[in-house]
Chain A
Amino acid sequence: MPIIELSGICKVYRTKEIETTALDNINMSVEKGEFVSVMGPSGCGKSTLLNITGLLDRPTAGTVRLLDRDCNGLSDTALSHFRNENIGFVFQSFHLIPSLSVEDNVELPLDYRNGLSGADRRRRVDEVLERLGLSHRKKHMPSQLSGGQCQRVAIARAIVGRPSIILADEPTGNLDSRMGAEVMDLLHDLNTTDGITIVMVTHNELQAKQTDRIVRFFDGRIIS
């Protein structure tokens, strides 16, 4: 049973003058525990695919099934809860909240989860920060961190809620190769140790080759 199952996904952006078909009848499934890379030239629809998979956007046509659940019919609130419990996002430009400290940034997903006491939340945050070697930075503000450190904080935020899926859109895109390698090691560790399913968009052939499978895109279609 695949954990991610996309069938017949189309996404058409309509503006006044033009219609852009970003995704054209995509069928794709990802097994539980898989680490999949998505590659393709700029503008071919990789981010669009990831956003639809992450329930941040709705497809023009087609169905999204996650954890064996049809997500098309869910309300906005239900989608929010689903994302909160099952999906962790990692972005190319980190998207940490500048007004919050490292620990408060990491705690963010737990703020939106019911039934966790303040102590539980702080314990989970500490655990994750410890694991990613960020304990000594927890009172720092994002502006005081390097890019690599920021992305590690972002990964901590993505896993603190113990999701089964991580969606990473060019997580190493803004990092130098050494920092990038560090982040990749981290993702591999989460994949093998915790069994988290990861879908990652990348332009880096080498990084892609280290993953279980590469999905290649061209102009809104999967070509291999």
Chain B
Amino acid sequence: MKKKLIQIYYDMRTQPVVAWVTILGTALSIFLIMTVLMMQQVKIIPFAPESNRDRMLYGMFFHLESNEEGAGSGSANLSYNMARRLYGDLDGVAEVSYFDKDPSHNDLKGPSGKKFTGAIRFADDAFWRIYDHTLLSGRFFTADEVAAKSRVAVLSESTARRLFNDASPLGGHFQQNHADYEVIGVVADVSPLASMAYGEVYVPVDRDVIWEMNGLQVFGPFTAAMLLEPGTDKEAVRGQVLARYREVDSELNAEGYRTVYHESPFSQEVIASGVAGSNMTPDVSGGRTLRYVLYAILLIVPAINLSTMLHSRLRRRVSELGVRRAFGCTRRRIITDIISENLIVTVIGGVIGLAAGIIFALCYDGLYTNSAGEAVRPALGLLLDWRILLSAFAACFILNIISASVPAWQASRLRPVEAINAK
């Protein structure tokens, strides 16, 4: 290791252009890959309060068509009752929350006198159990309060400050859309990147809201968010949901309709990919393939370049390689030494590239958006997630393998006598 570092340092002094182009080329490559990858990862990796993203499933939509030719169809979110019929009490599901997945942006006014618009999240009591908001003071609202449509609210910390200044918000009152609410709890601010758990004001959802269609009470603003028990197979849950669909279907048939099943409920990846729609089956494979192709291009193009650089660094060392062979270095050892030495260079470049990528993500608006498409800046802690760091290292590793294996193999095939006497 020490000798490899010495060699790298020596290369940087004797062939500074090649060495720096190698390091900065790697940095640029890792920067691009990480920028794309972080944008994707942030939508999928679990972070508080969406700490259980990998165990979540979302039943969002309902789609039905008329059996009469040309009589039309309908698709939207669910009514509370329909959401419960399809997604309530499933095996392997620990907890279900029925809430409106889209926060409303309503006017707020509090004792501070300031009037502003805030994101209002209409939720239920289970919402606080499937997401882990940090309760700073007070309490969450209860099942009874939701059932009674109590005018109680949980505020995010910064919203509490805007409404109440320095006064303690607990027990205080404010107006949301001209209705009076009492503050019962304050939670830590939530990143808008946690698009399901995000809110500035949380209030009990009204379960009676129904969007009626031709006398059918199937549509409404609800989404069923399910937290699975650890180890539950998502397909098994979908199987149960499909059975529920069949029941509902036979009932609706009597009314002249049939349901269209779209592989509900959806995983976090489906939600994140923006491919979920009320009247279509989401297809993540297209986006996935596109991403993989993009990663491959971002790796292979610089790798070819880096390969040339390594080749030219090694050309200077042909005689040395011959001498090493003479003193007993095997071909395999030549390959592993070159690849591991190159890995160090790649990782140095990778660290620079990752740092640049993170700085870019923190400073440049528009890379990250919330569910409403507004620009959001991610928190540093989120970008330093171990999965992101691991992916950066993996990208370095792959870049290294692609770029170093051909030159290393060529170096190992040099004939010792000719190598020693080269140049």
A residues apposed to B, CB below 8 Å: 51, 54, 56-57, 76-77, 80-81, 83-85, 89, 91, 95, 97-100, 104, 108-109, 111-113, 157, 161
Using Cβ atoms and an 8 Å threshold, which residues of chain A touch B330? 76-77, 80-81, 112
Q: Is the CB of B326 within 8 A of A54?
A: yes
Residue of A57, A91, A104, A112 touching B328 (CB-CB under 8 A)? A112
- A100–B420 CA distance with the chains assembled, in angstroms: 17
Q: Is the CB of A89 within 8 A of B319?
A: no
Q: Is the CB of B417 within 8 A of A83?
A: no
Residue of A56, A97, A98 touching B416 (CB-CB under 8 A)? A56
The 3 closest A-B pairs by CB, nearest first: A84-B328, A99-B10, A112-B328
Q: B178 within 8 Å of A by Cβ?
A: no
Q: B139 within 8 Å of A by Cβ?
A: no
Q: B329 within 8 Å of A by Cβ?
A: yes
Using Cβ atoms and an 8 Å threshold, which residues of chain A touch B328? 80-81, 83-85, 109, 112-113, 161
Given contacts A91-B420, A95-B322, A112-B324, 19 further A-B contacts (CB under 8 A): A56-B325, A57-B416, A77-B330, A80-B325, A80-B331, A81-B330, A83-B327, A83-B328, A84-B327, A85-B328, A95-B320, A97-B323, A99-B11, A99-B14, A100-B3, A100-B6, A108-B327, A111-B329, A157-B327
Q: B415 within 8 Å of A by Cβ?
A: yes
Q: Which of B327, B330, B416 has the most CB of A within 10 A?
A: B327
- A99–B416 CA distance with the chains assembled, in angstroms: 20
Q: Is the CB of B320 within 8 A of A97?
A: yes
- A77–B333 CA distance with the chains assembled, in angstroms: 10
Q: B332 within 8 Å of A by Cβ?
A: yes
Q: List 30 A-B contacts (CB under 8 A).
A: A51-B417, A56-B326, A56-B420, A57-B415, A57-B417, A76-B330, A77-B330, A80-B325, A80-B330, A83-B327, A84-B328, A91-B323, A95-B319, A95-B322, A95-B323, A97-B320, A97-B323, A98-B10, A99-B6, A99-B320, A100-B6, A100-B7, A104-B6, A108-B323, A109-B327, A112-B324, A112-B328, A112-B329, A112-B333, A113-B328
Residue of A83, A85, A104 touching B326 (CB-CB under 8 A)? A83
- A111–B328 CA distance with the chains assembled, in angstroms: 9
Identify the closest chain A residue to B319 (Cβ): A95
Q: How far is the CB of B418 from chain A (nearest CB, A)?
A: 9
Using Cβ atoms and an 8 Å threshold, which residues of chain A touch B10? 98-99
Using Cβ atoms and an 8 Å threshold, which residues of chain A touch B6? 99-100, 104
Using Cβ atoms and an 8 Å threshold, which residues of chain B touch A161? 327-328
Using Cβ atoms and an 8 Å threshold, which residues of chain B touch A95? 319-320, 322-323, 420
Identify the closest chain A residue to B330 (Cβ): A80
- A109–B70 CA distance with the chains assembled, in angstroms: 85
Identify the closest chain A residue to B420 (Cβ): A95
Identify the closest chain A residue to B6 (Cβ): A99
Identify the closest chain B residue to A56 (Cβ): B416
- A76–B334 CA distance with the chains assembled, in angstroms: 13
Q: How far is the CB of A189 from chain B (nearest CB, A)?
A: 22
Using Cβ atoms and an 8 Å threshold, which residues of chain B touch A99? 6-7, 10-11, 14, 320
Q: Is the CB of B326 within 8 A of A89?
A: yes
Q: How far is the CB of A55 from chain B (nearest CB, A)?
A: 9
Q: How far is the CB of B110 from chain A (nearest CB, A)?
A: 69
Beta-carbon contacts of B267-288 to A below 8 Å, as 1s and 0s? 0000000000000000000000
Beta-carbon contacts of B233-276 to A below 8 Å, as 1s and 0s? 00000000000000000000000000000000000000000000
Identify the closest chain B residue to A154 (Cβ): B323
Task: Kindly identify, within residues 276 to 332 of chain B, every residue whose CB is under 8 Å from any CB belonging to chain A.
Answer: 319-320, 322-332
